[in-house]
């Protein structure tokens, strides 16, 4: 089964060879949770604040299925004016 993974900002630096324009296409053998997928990519769960699955916000416990699009996002900070 195949899934598409996109990483945002600082998470990109944690996956060697990650190309933001293309993302990753991963072949996995079975349904995984978003947490298990993140661990396969060596992403620290504490660094992931938002998980998107097919355009909808989900939790790290959500199950990833064949053909899904997954996005991992770190905390986003802003500045004061």
Element (H, E) at 4: strand 2-7
pLDDT digits (tens, 9 = 90+) for 33-63: 999 999 999 999 999 999 999 999 999 999 9
Give every CB contact of residue 72 below 8 A, 6+ residues apart in sequence.
Answer: 5, 6, 7, 8, 11, 34, 38, 43, 48, 50, 51
Mean pLDDT of the chain: 92
Indicate the domain borders of the chain: 1-51
């Amino acid at each position: 089964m195949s899934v598409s993974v996109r990483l945002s900002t600082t998470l990109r630096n944690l996956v060697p060879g990650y190309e933001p324009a293309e993302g990753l296409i991963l072949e996995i053998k079975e349904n995984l949770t978003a947490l298990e997928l993140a661990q396969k990519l060596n992403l620290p769960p504490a660094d992931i604040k938002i998980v998107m699955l097919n355009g909808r916000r989900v939790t790290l416990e959500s199950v990833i299925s064949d053909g899904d699009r997954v996005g991992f996002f770190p905390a986003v900070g802003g500045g004061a004016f």
